[in-house]
Amino acid sequence: MGSTWGNTIKISIFGESHGTGIGVVIDGFPSGVAYDEAFVLREMERRAPGRNKQSTARKEPDRPEIQSGIYNGKTTGTPICAVIRNTNQRSNDYAELAAQPRPGHADYTGMLRYDSCNDPRGGGHFSGRLTAPLVFAGALCKLWLKEQGVTVGSHIQSIAQIQDMPFDDVEVTAEQLDTLRNAEYPVNNPRALEAMLAAIEEAREEQDSVGGVIECAAVGLPAGIGSPMLDSVESRLSSILFGVPAVKGVEFGAGFAFAALRGSHANDPFYEENGVVKTETNNNGGILGGITSGMPLIVRACIKPTPSIGMVQDTLNIRTGKVEPLSIHGRHDPCIVTRAAPVVEAACAVALADLLKEAKGYHA
């Protein structure tokens, strides 16, 4: 419920964009996992704003202060808490928004949901900044998954209408995913990247924004994880992915393209190689009947264009009851897709770690 998610590994995210601190409690995390701080900070850095021209100019350190759950360099198995201080708020940027709920944002629905008591500054608990603790949790889960032979990675599938080369859903490797993780922009095709960056720049100049799609893969997952009927691997992954602000679509394998396929092409025939059962194609994205098949897991999430744009929008002033022009000042990304890759990965890593721990028990 709310900002708490998971079954055998449960995360509870807290914080508001301009409050004292944000963070996460991770309950049920396996004990004895080596805490690789450099890796975790690198993951945080991938998501952080201000890294490059495409993202907002805010520069916050986003350094997680570990309160508990790590001892002698290893996870204890009892709850891990990390707090990230908020240090660089400019709340006055948001002053006028109270009267004019921003289109595409949660200002209006949040007000109704919380009887106007929620913190509106910078989007409060709805802020994209709240994905920082999710990335922290995801980084820890990746450390454990790595010990279990599982690698999670992603690339930008598209920005605006420019498509990257998709993953080879049969052959994608851990090495490829690791390489993408270390790239400034996780894009397979350099020319697509150029065009994407140009599209972002164009949107910025017009004080507008663009959206895109992240494609995420997990390799090394054992077959046989997940449960029918209502607790499929797809159910778990989509449930947390749709918790990421701005995600409005989630698909697995061929996804919506299945609608145009015939069964004879959509089905993935089985074969055996060195005693391992595989499928020749992987339209099902590594999941059959809600259970992992051992093939690479492929999931895509659509990220809507940043709703905060400088361009004037005509929208309701709830004090006057009239539609009036609104221009959102402040520092906003013309495209959050470049920063969304580590967030989508983190959500997937948390969900897969939760599923794997459920399958393997306490001492996996």
Q: Which residues are annotated binding-site positions for FMN?
A: 125-127, 289, 304-308, 331
DSSP helix/strand/coil, 224: coil
| Element holding 175 (H helix, E strand) | helix 174-182
166 binds its own copies per the rule CB under 8 A: no
263 binds its own copies per the rule CB under 8 A: yes
Give the Cα-Cα-Cα angle 334, 245, 52 (nearest 5 degrees). Answer: 35
Name the residue nearer to its own copies (CB basis): 153 or 226.
226
Among 139, 143, 221, 302, interactor with its own copies by CB under 8 A: 302
Name the residue nearer to its own copies (CB basis): 41 or 364.
364
> Least separation, in Å, of the C-beta of 175 and its own copies?
26
Amino acid at 128: G
DSSP helix/strand/coil, 205: helix
Among 56, 148, 154, 209, interactor with its own copies by CB under 8 A: 209
Q: How far is Cα 353 from Cα 30, in angstroms, rounded to an integer?
A: 10
Backbone angles phi, psi at 148, to 5 degrees: -90, 5
Closest CA to 124 of 3, 213, 234: 3
Count of Cβ atoms closer than 10 Å to residue 174 Cβ: 18
> Least separation, in Å, of the C-beta of 262 and its own copies?
5
Residues 124 and 130 sit within 8 Å (Cβ to Cβ): no
Name the residue nearer to its own copies (CB basis): 182 or 274.
274
Give bridge partners of residue 300 from the DSSP assignment: 215, 251
Name the residue nearer to its own copies (CB basis): 43 or 215.
215
Among 60, 93, 201, 231, interactor with its own copies by CB under 8 A: 231
Give the binding range for its own copies (CB under 8 A) out of 25-33, 51-59, 88-96, 165-173: 25-33
Q: How far is Cα 357 from Cα 364, in angstroms, rounded to an integer?
A: 7
Among 113, 191, 319, 331, interactor with its own copies by CB under 8 A: 113
Question: Of residues 171-200, which lie at the interface with its own copies (CB under 8 A)?
Answer: none
> Least separation, in Å, of the C-beta of 235 and its own copies?
4
105 binds its own copies per the rule CB under 8 A: yes
Q: What is the 3-state secondary structure (H, E, C) of 320-339?
A: CCEEEEECCCCCCCCCCHHH
Give the binding range for its own copies (CB under 8 A) out of 35-43, 51-59, 165-173, 237-245: 237-245
> Least separation, in Å, of the C-beta of 191 and its own copies?
19
282 binds its own copies per the rule CB under 8 A: no
As a whole number of Å, the CA-based R_g of the chain is: 21
Residues 97 and 327 sit within 8 Å (Cβ to Cβ): no
232 binds its own copies per the rule CB under 8 A: yes
161 binds its own copies per the rule CB under 8 A: yes
> Least separation, in Å, of the C-beta of 312 and its own copies?
9
Question: Of residues 48-67, which lie at the interface with its own copies (CB under 8 A)?
Answer: 65-67
Residues 361 and 354 sit within 8 Å (Cβ to Cβ): no
Question: Of residues 303-322, which lie at the interface with its own copies (CB under 8 A)?
Answer: 303-309, 311, 313-316, 318, 321
> Least separation, in Å, of the C-beta of 50 and its own copies?
20
b/e sequence 283-295, b meaning 16+ C-beta within 10 Å: bbbbbbebbbbbb
Closest CA to 42 of 190, 184, 218: 184
Q: What residues contact 288, with CB distance under 8 A and at least 6 apart?
A: none
Ramachandran area for residue 275 (φ above 0: left; ψ -120 to 50: alpha; else beta): left
Give the binding range for its own copies (CB under 8 A) out of 42-50, 51-59, 164-172, 268-276: 268-276
Name the residue nearer to its own copies (CB basis): 91 or 179.
91
- Write out the binding residues: 47, 53, 125-127, 289, 304-308, 331
Give the Cα-Cα-Cα angle 46, 52, 54 (nearest 5 degrees). Answer: 100
Among 279, 297, 319, 339, interactor with its own copies by CB under 8 A: 279
